[in-house]
A and B are shown apart, each in its own frame.
Chain A
Amino acid sequence: MKGTQLGEFEEIVLLTIALLYDDAHSIAVVEKLSQRLERPISLGAVHRTMQRLEEKGLVISRFGEATPERGGRRKRLFTITIAGEQSLREVRHIRNELWEGIPKTAFDHLT
């Protein structure tokens, strides 16, 4: 299952795509991420990640309408696929399990 292995950044991007649902194009993803992470995200990084996700079959893309603010060019809109959803759930499941496995006392001595 090498193809579905998700990297950390990939996971965040995939999550954002799912979050944006119908308007998930790269600029929107960049903006959303910069907002949330409070650090600048480069378009290039997002772009490459989204391409990779598509190659892995976790998202599919289609062309949107050409709009003037894009200089008459169309945007590529991404939608999460079932495979994408599954791999997100899997990651979440693994995390949840990990969380649950942490002994209560593990964080206690820190405070």
Chain B
Amino acid sequence: MNRKNKTHQDPPGWAERLLARITAPHIREEVLGDLYELFQKRVQRYGYMKARLLYVLEMLLLLHPRLWRKQAQSAHLYTKPTDYSTPNPLVMLSNYVKIALRKLNRHKSYTLINVVSLSLGIACTILIFTLVKYHLSFDTFHANQDRIYRIYTELHTEKVTYSTGVPSPMGEAFQGGYSVAEEVGRIAFFKKRVVSVSPEKKFEEDIAFADPDFLSIFNFPLIQGNSKIALQERNTALITDRIAKKYFGTQDPIGKLLRVDNSLSVRITGILQNLPPNTDFHTEIYIPFSNLQEHSPWIVEKDWWLGFNKEMQCFIRLKPGVSAATVDSRILTAISNKYYDKEMAKQFRFKLQPLADVHFNPKLRGYTEKKNLWTFALIGFFLVVTACVNFINLATAQALGRSREIGVRKALGSQRGAIFWQFITETGLIAGSALIIAFGLAYVALPFVNQWFDIELSLNPLTDTDLLVFLLLLLLVVIFCSGAYPGLILARFQPVLALKGKLSQQAVGGFSLRKGLVVTQFAISQLLIIGTLIITNQLRYSQQADMGFRKDAIVILPVPDNKKSKINTLGAQLSEMSGVENVTFFDTPPATEFLGSTSFRFDSRPKAEAFNISIKSADHQYIPTFKIPILAGRNLNPSDTIREYLLNETAVKSLGLASLQDVIGKSATINGRSGTIVGVIKDFHFKSFRVAIEPLCLTTWGEVYNSCGVKVNPANLGPTLSGFEKAWKAMYPSSIFTYRFLDEDIERFYKLDNMLLRLIQAFAAIAIFVGCLGLYGLVSFMAAQKTKEIGVRKVLGASTASILWLFGKEFFRLLLVAFMLAAPLAWWLMDRWLNNFVYRVELGAGIFILAILITLIVALLTVGFRSVKAALMNPIKTLRTE
């Protein structure tokens, strides 16, 4: 048949397909054939177009129940069954399952390796899925959450700084002048305040002052009390159910009085439902915003537009149809222009941040970045891939052993599809049991993950449909990813060759594919190892590097009341105790995660400097306590008001002065208060290593001291601390004594990184383990294949080492190839991660060499264990088996 000719003379394909679909199987071939023949004749007689037309016409005339009626089962029927009966896969299923169970039972190590590696991979993926989903679900339960925004501040000076807070009049200005928002809710958060039920019963609690609108913007329902009037009346409070239980037990909390920070008495008028775990609002006590004036007047100074505090926030819900971009460009700009002079309006810019961004924007104190979540998702994917790779490797390696079974099946009439589905059933059994085990593992591991991350995840596929769907999808993907290729290989066997046992490993195909897969596994393991090593190095560097000040054995105590007399007495008492070396009072310890900055006018320069400077207020003991070196000039003199300033080196450099001596004795106006610069201190890291050291000044300003740092002798800590507690409690009877260590504080900067590290370590370990299982399986298989070869070699005088090398060289080569792939990728990824840190470790060759060594050793152990066994086998035994 002329192929070209044929394509030109085919009847309309759609009609043929349609007909094939509706026609009963027993007459399908005949009908189609008839029409085709008729068509061919008509093409010659009438031409192509007309023939097509007639084809369709003829088809229409064929339409009749007889066309699709099933073959009649009458006794008169002489027709033989046609070849069109397709095997019913469901009928065969029980057979497939039976064969699969027998096979899995016979090859126990194969089954075990597959189930273990798959279940480990899947368990990690389940955990990662839950984690990612948990973070993505943050604050998504509020009605109209896509219209909820937070107003934030961008301060444009030499560089841009961001703050979650806004100047306190912002809420009113926004509400009063513009009608784009349905609700405007101001809220001021205060961390760790003292809330007392009675003088004896005190608690340290986070509190918030909020507008009534806050409750209508966010979905925090009241379970007792009236939400319409909640937060409206002064001196009232809402608390959550948890707090109510904690404070009052079973008593009715409504109407009870609470005292906040000894400055405010409030009456409980409503009980909020406990906060869900997936919200960034952790405050459990809400007090009307109108009470803020009495509690902290400094934060709500009227018309004070020049300052903002990160805790003074403003949430709004826009009207439907109003876009955030319009609000940004029109209204918030108008507010800047209205309340600031021209110069300042350029610096103060306000924007809207969508609620969905709050959890993920690290610039605005979001918990994490989405990037981290995707990293985890990627790792989960890697783990599943590694496990699937194991499966494919082992299954293709074993395929040869099944050639006889496949041969018999094919000879008895099994078709490719049937064999393929048989294998998929087998995979399904393994994957299904792995999934069940994995779920169990994940369930057991969940409390630990929760503890690490300080979160509340839960696993319940019955109530969580997302999880259920994910599990089912995962199962399907795993089954098909790992089962499809080996299934196709098996189905492709030529029955004659298979029965004769003449299939070679090459014919089974895929040694090169298996190599590729092993390379993938090695590469993933190496990538994770390199990542782990680098993150460990950087974190160790961040936490152990010299930050420029002394941080060990320094206890920090809160100072609830910084009246001069109290501070002096407390200071004197503390320094008299044994084991105390220095005592200092200050507002912030040397290193904090956040520190605001302010304007700076130097000497007689007419304008403020283009850069901003951060202030630390501390007494004259700060420098000796933290051992901050003074490079020029002298330490601050004791004082309670701002008289003198110390600058750091960066500040001097930013001023454009060459010599440190140039600033000594000059005047400086910082944050509107002037003083004399008396010295220059060496730069120290006053934020985390992520950011560069910025200009900083130190001054004495007694009003804002809120902490006390004590350098203690670590040898005898216990009695010292209890001595502190006694003295402190005597001084502040209405407050709660707490203390913390500076170095722990600094460690907290890297909390998230530490978690990341621990997780990646765990995942790397699992990936390596799973990879090893696969390798072990492969080597066992190779050893079984090569039994005879090894025997012959040994008889001919091969040494054990050369036989080991026979196994090793292949894997060694694969490992090197994997390294070629993994190293550049890891370098690129980790370089990007390290770019988050201004002060960072360098990516040396050492880490990469270490990584390849680790994989090499692990691979050697795995391969070696099995191959030594094979190499030591007595050749008499191996060669006799014929």
A residues apposed to B, CB below 8 Å = 3, 25-27, 30, 42-45, 47-48, 51-52, 54-57, 60-61, 63, 68-71, 73-76
Q: How many A-B residue pairs have CB under 8 A?
A: 76
A22 to B607, CA, bound (A): 114
Docked-complex contact B34 and A27, CB < 8 angstroms: yes
Docked-complex contact B33 and A54, CB < 8 angstroms: no
Of B31, B78, B82, the contact of A47 (CB 8 Å cutoff): B31
A73 to B79, CA, bound (A): 17
Task: Say yes or no: A44-B58 contact (C-beta < 8 A), given A68-B1, A69-B40.
Answer: yes
A58 to B64, CA, bound (A): 22
A44 to B38, CA, bound (A): 12
B91 at interface by CB-CB < 8 Å? no
Of B30, B67, B78, B79, the contact of A26 (CB 8 Å cutoff): B30
A61 to B38, CA, bound (A): 20
30 interchain pairs, CB-CB under 8 A: A3-B76, A26-B30, A27-B34, A27-B38, A30-B38, A42-B58, A43-B58, A44-B58, A44-B61, A44-B63, A47-B27, A47-B34, A47-B62, A51-B66, A52-B66, A54-B76, A54-B77, A54-B79, A55-B74, A56-B76, A68-B1, A69-B36, A70-B34, A70-B36, A71-B10, A73-B30, A74-B30, A75-B33, A75-B34, A76-B30
**Which residues of A lie under 8 Å from residue B31 when comparing CB positions?**
47
Q: Say how far B60's CB is from chain A's closest CB, in angstroms.
A: 8
**Which residues of B lie under 8 Å from residue A70 when comparing CB positions?**
33-34, 36-37
Among B1, B78, B82, the one with the most A-chain Cβ atoms within 10 Å of its Cβ is: B78
**Which residues of A lie under 8 Å from residue B36 when comparing CB positions?**
69-71, 73
**Which residues of B lie under 8 Å from residue A51 when comparing CB positions?**
27, 66
Q: Say how far B870's CB is from chain A's closest CB, in angstroms.
A: 53
Of A3, A30, A48, A57, the contact of B64 (CB 8 Å cutoff): A48
Q: Say how far B23's CB is from chain A's closest CB, in angstroms.
A: 11
B82-119 Cβ-contact flags toward A at 8 Å (1 or 0): 10000000000000000000000000000000000000
Task: Say yes or no: A75-B32 contact (C-beta < 8 A), given A43-B62, A55-B77.
Answer: no
Docked-complex contact B33 and A71, CB < 8 angstroms: yes
**Which residues of A lie under 8 Å from residue B61 when comparing CB positions?**
42-45
**Which residues of A lie under 8 Å from residue B66 when comparing CB positions?**
47-48, 51-52
Shortest Cβ-Cβ A-B pairs, 8 listed: A73-B33, A57-B76, A70-B33, A44-B62, A44-B61, A71-B36, A68-B1, A42-B61
Q: Say how far B180's CB is from chain A's closest CB, in angstroms.
A: 70
Label chain B's interface by main secondary structure: helix
Task: Say yes or no: A75-B30 contact (C-beta < 8 A), given A45-B61, A70-B36.
Answer: yes
Of A43, A44, A57, A68, the contact of B78 (CB 8 Å cutoff): A57
Q: Say how far B659's CB is from chain A's closest CB, in angstroms.
A: 97
**Which residues of B lie under 8 Å from residue A48 when comparing CB positions?**
64, 66
Interface hits, B18-56 → A, CB 8 Å: 27, 29-38, 40
Docked-complex contact A61 and B32, CB < 8 angstroms: no
Which of chain A's residues has its CB closest to B60's CB? Answer: A44
**Which residues of A lie under 8 Å from residue B62 when comparing CB positions?**
42-44, 47
B72 at interface by CB-CB < 8 Å? yes
A12 to B776, CA, bound (A): 77
**Which residues of B lie under 8 Å from residue A45 when comparing CB positions?**
61
Which of chain A's residues has its CB closest to B28's CB? Answer: A73
Docked-complex contact B72 and A25, CB < 8 angstroms: no
A25 to B29, CA, bound (A): 13
A45 to B67, CA, bound (A): 11
**Which residues of A lie under 8 Å from residue B78 when comparing CB positions?**
54, 57, 60-61
Q: Say how far B2's CB is from chain A's closest CB, in angstroms.
A: 9
Which of chain A's residues has its CB closest to B59's CB? Answer: A44
**Which residues of A lie under 8 Å from residue B1 when comparing CB positions?**
68
A47 to B38, CA, bound (A): 13
Docked-complex contact B33 and A55, CB < 8 angstroms: no
A52 to B61, CA, bound (A): 17
Among B30, B36, B82, the one with the most A-chain Cβ atoms within 10 Å of its Cβ is: B30
**Which residues of A lie under 8 Å from residue B10 when comparing CB positions?**
71
Task: Say yes or no: A26-B63 contact (C-beta < 8 A), given A55-B72, A55-B76.
Answer: no
Q: Say how far A64's CB is from chain B's closest CB, in angstroms.
A: 9
Q: Say how far B601's CB is from chain A's closest CB, in angstroms.
A: 94
